[in-house]
Structure 1
Amino acid sequence: LRKAAKSAVCKINIDSDLRLAMTAGIREHFMAHPEHFDPRQYIADGRSYVKELVEHKIKDVLGSNGRADEILALVKANK
Structure 2
Amino acid sequence: MKMNADGIDHYPYRIRWSEEDNEYVGTCAELPGLSWLDSTPALTLNGIQQVAREVVEDMRKHGETMPGVFVQERSCQ
Q: Fold-level match, TM-score > 0.5?
A: no
Higher relative contact order (CA 8 A, sep 6+): 1
TM-score (norm 1): 0.37
Answer 1 or 2: which has greater strand percent.
Answer: 2
Answer 1 or 2: which has greater helix percent.
Answer: 1
TM-score (norm 2): 0.38
